[in-house]
Structure 1
Amino acid sequence: MIRRQPIETKINHERWLVSYADFITLLFAFFVVMYSVSQVNETKYRTLSETLGNAFSSSAKKTNKNRSPDTTEAEVAPLKQIEQQLEQALSGVLATGEVTLNGNQNWVEIVIDANSFFSSGQATPSDEARTVLNKVADIISPFDNAVAVGGHTDDTPINNAQFKNNWELSSARAVTVVNLLAFAGVSPERMSAVGYGEYRPIADNQTPEGRSANRRVVLRVARDRADIPKVIAPNAIPQSETPATPANPEPVVNPGPAEEQPETVEPVRLKNGGLLFTSDPDRARNNR
């Protein structure tokens, strides 16, 4: 028998070159793509950017034109800006001391001398008071800062035909200032009025000068927007949740107490052959 010669297989020690060549090809392709991406056509990019900018700006202008003035929300002005404008507008009364201007990081305070702007024991403002408050309103009306007005008096008792005590007088003067500001264009939703009577003095009521300093109306412009809560009646039911009432409701009949059903009696045969008639046959069987 002739034996077949085995075929010698040559071992290729250079097969790693195939994988290496594939890796180099992929790496080359990667850098080619990265280079092509980095080369942006500046002219086309600038054209696209301008087109998008014009489109968005035109749509924003259309939205602002279609928006009614009532829906435009006013801005909150910085206190420093308001204080500087008030100093310029009220320079005359500030020099005479009829109005004092103070401020800090939370509010700007306008102290109005009630002796100059109101008659003794009265809440009717003078012409000078109207002029000053109109200037104040022109400055603060474009903005949405909260405004609080407080009336103060001295401790001299008062009891005339209009006011029974200093509480009523101080409150009436504060309300008068609020009404004048609202009439001049300040939004009523951002204002509040309160009367303190003689209970928050800034000077000694034992002297005429101290009593004169305590008779004042203080107007404070806050740095924040007025917080206006929405009040909902506690018993109010939304219309969508109101249960529908049928046109012809059927009368409700009281069924009354349920009638007791008579117990069913069943015969049970006993071990001795007899019959037992009972309403609880299981119990009878267990007791046989």
Structure 2
Amino acid sequence: MSKNGQSLIVVRKKKSHKHGHHGGSWKIAYADFMTAMMAFFLVMWLLATSSPQQRQQIAEYFNMPLKAALSQGNKDSLSDSVIPGGGDDVIKQSGEVFKQTLRKIDREKSVQNLKRALDKLESLIKNDPRLSNYAANLRLSLSDDGLLVQILDTQDRPMFRVGGVRLEPYMVGILQSLAPVLNELPNLISLTGHTDSLPYAGGSAGYSNWELSADRANASRRTLVAAGLSPDKFMRVTGTADIMVLENTQPTDPSNRRISILVLSREKEKSIRREYTSQNIVSAMQQIEQTQAQLKTVASPPGIEQTGSAILNQEKVEQDGRK
């Protein structure tokens, strides 16, 4: 205490250290930085170890579904995913983007193969005497259905004996030249025979341009197989008589007597398969309906109901007579 009786209060201040504690916020920032760096190195590692095709699939996974969804595009699959092209595991073999990519690559490869075949055939027509001498009888074209090779008649140079199915020697040479090129392609073939609109004058009863066109198509098929073309290459062989007339020609023009060899594109091949599958389903349904109708007829033959009604009426009359 002081002399005058008043108490003294001593306040002591604690000296702060020169390098004091600044809190834990820096730890959060450092953790975010390390997470970002780990994600960056992970992405770099994936890019370094993945193939170009896998990178394309990953890019399509992030781009295509969102673009289709934002543009209100139609879905290309039966998936229940909200995003068109999406679905579970979309970049792997069970995913839709992967399958669409494979279909696109397969379609582009098929088109490239057909273009190369077209170039090869054009070169053959110029250099092979069996073809170059008959260039006016050959037409080549490439469409969405595939590569079409047409062998046409002319007035002075028919491909078959008049009114018959026997091939002329130069027609045999043409098919022999085409066989190796067609055999190299993985695509299937549709072979069609055509005639002009002049009535068939062969004299055979019931034989018409329909039979003639089909027989000529089959004769051409046999010649191609004999020349080395695999029998499994043919998807269908048909005759269409004179119903498919060439553009800018009269139905009676000799050029309408022709053989068409269509090297089918992948899409056309699938379309034909679906067409025949649907026809088989319809035919099966019709057979089932006919069988059901026959069973009903057997179960309830005509006249049974009338006979039963007659018996009931007779019993009723007899009962009335007894009364």
Normalised by the size of structure 2, how large is the TM-score? 0.46
Which residue among 195, 199, 206 is the counterpart of 2:239?
195
* Residue 85 in structure 1 maps to residue 124 in structure 2: no
Secondary structure of 2:265's match? strand
Structure 1: how far apart are the matches of 2:149 and 2:121? 9
Q: Cα offset for 1:166? A: 0.3
Residue in 2 that maps onto 1:112: 151
Residue in 2 that maps onto 1:204: 250
What does residue range 89-238 of structure 1 map to in structure 2 within 5 Å? 89-91=124-126, 92=129, 93-106=131-144, 107-114=146-153, 115-158=157-200, 159-161=202-204, 164-183=207-226, 184-186=228-230, 188-202=232-246, 203-205=249-251, 210-224=252-266, 226-227=269-270, 228=273
Residue in 2 that maps onto 1:258: none
The one-letter amino acid paired with 2:159 is F
Query: Residues 169 and 124 (structure 1 numbering): CA distance in 2 closer, same or farther, change over 3 Å?
Result: same
Secondary structure of 1:111's match? strand
Structure 2: how far apart are the matches of 1:162 and 1:78? 45
Q: Which sections of structure 2, spanning at least 5 residues, go unmatched?
A: 1-7, 42-47, 49-105, 282-323
Structure 2: how far apart are the matches of 1:174 and 1:12? 109
Q: Cα offset for 1:201? A: 2.4
Q: Which sections of structure 1, spanning at least 5 residues, go unmatched?
A: 39-48, 50-72, 235-288
What does residue range 1-150 of structure 1 map to in structure 2 within 5 Å? 10-11=13-14, 13-14=16-17, 17-19=20-22, 23=26, 76=110, 77-91=112-126, 92=129, 93-106=131-144, 107-114=146-153, 115-150=157-192
- Identity across matched positions, percent: 17
Q: Cα offset for 1:145? A: 2.3
Cα RMSD (Å) of the superposition? 4.6
Higher normalized helix content (fraction of residues): 2
Answer 1 or 2: higher relative contact order, Cα 8 Å, separation at least 6: 1
Q: Cα offset for 1:86? A: 0.8
| 1:192-237 alpha-carbon deviations (Å, 9 max, x no partner) | 22211122223224xxxx5322211122223336335697x98xxx
Larger Cα Rg: Structure 1 or Structure 2? 1
Structure 1: how far apart are the matches of 2:25 and 2:254? 98
Contact 2:189 2:262 (C-alpha < 8 Å) held by counterparts: yes
Q: How many residues align?
A: 194
